[in-house]
Chain A
Amino acid sequence: MSTVEERVKKIVCEQLGVKESEVQNSSSFVEDLGADSLDTVELVMALEEEFETEIPDEEAEKLASVQDAIDYIVAHT
């Protein structure tokens, strides 16, 4: 079983169409990985599905980087 970090990074790669080598824990979805607002909504939807959880909108807005997403998933699943 892959770790949360690996699974989050895999989804980020799939959703944003970036290479694994480009994705660092500190990467910002918008500034570093080129996500637009719709990309970030879709990314959250994909994370919800992968981890079978619901991320409330007010929490979703705070997920700006790969590390934010990993921390959220670890804390809430």
Chain B
Amino acid sequence: MSLEGKTALVTGATRGIGKAISLALAQQGAEVIGTATSKDGAETITANFSAAGVSGYGIVMNVADLESIEAGLKEIGDKTGAPLILVNNAGITRDNLLMRLKDDDWGAVLDTNLSSVYRTSKAVLRGMAKARWGRIINVSSVVASMGNPGQANYCAAKAGVEGFTRSLAKEMSNRGITANCVAPGFIDTDMTKQLDENQREAMLKNIPAGRLGQPEEVAAIVSFLASDIAGYVTGETIHVNGGMYMG
């Protein structure tokens, strides 16, 4: 599954699932650029690649801002070449029961988790269309299918990403470009550490595997979808959740 010579862009690559995905793609030979919202974050990403002995670097990019995306892509294009693999991983949560949810919490989650995917995907498509090869992989969530109290905004955004991905897959399939989602369940990251003990226990009860997933277990599926041999898989959502939801 070599990705030798391909440029990959992974948003939200500082930690957690994004970090694991970046390293996994780099280990397959891709030149990986990871994005962070701060300069410190970008430096952390570069250091992560060096520590793992693979090539790649971090840049500052705010996926909620089109100008920032375009500037970042220009930098990547000049330094490395247009990305033919895009992993939309950057995401935030602003949890609250709908009756208490603020407009800002709704707007921010939709913008960073859904509109960002529209912006970055559109921005990379020209390069992929020219190359007649591309992989867009969007990190969704099991809650897009299941729903989750306190996450109406997050669930709406992630379900939106899955629908977006299916349309994109149909539009671009005959150009050698695939679009898929990976929907993690309960993965051991900073995002799930925000949940309190009761929420954690309740979740674990519903996971047949009896444990949290590791970021590397999500990254493995992303690596597969990015590879040449996955060229006939498109518009699909692959769940990685220890059995808690099976579609």
Contact = CB atoms under 8 A, between A and B. Distances in A.
A47 B229 CA distance: 33
Contacts of B205: none
Contacts of B171: 38
B129 interface: yes
A38 B177 CA distance: 13
B175 A38 contact: yes
Interface in B169-225: 171-172, 174-175
B177 to A, nearest CB: 10
B126 interface: yes
Interface in A44-74: 45
A38 B129 CA distance: 10
A42 interface: yes
B132 to A, nearest CB: 10
Interface string B7-47: 00000000000000000000000000000000000000000
Contacts of B174: 38
A38 B167 CA distance: 13
A54 to B, nearest CB: 13
A45 B128 CA distance: 13
Contact of A45 (B126, B172, B175): B126
Interface in A2-43: 38, 42
Interface string B109-141: 000000000000000001001000000000000
Interface in B136-184: 171-172, 174-175
Nearest to B175: A38
Contacts of B175: 38
A74 to B, nearest CB: 25
Nearest to A42: B129
A38 B176 CA distance: 13
Contacts of A42: 129
Nearest to B174: A38
A57 to B, nearest CB: 13
A55 to B, nearest CB: 14
A37 B247 CA distance: 34
Given A38-B129, A38-B175, A42-B129, 5 more contacts: A38-B171, A38-B172, A38-B174, A45-B126, A45-B129
Closest 7 CB pairs of A and B: A42-B129, A45-B126, A38-B171, A38-B175, A38-B174, A38-B172, A45-B129
8 contacts: A38-B129, A38-B171, A38-B172, A38-B174, A38-B175, A42-B129, A45-B126, A45-B129
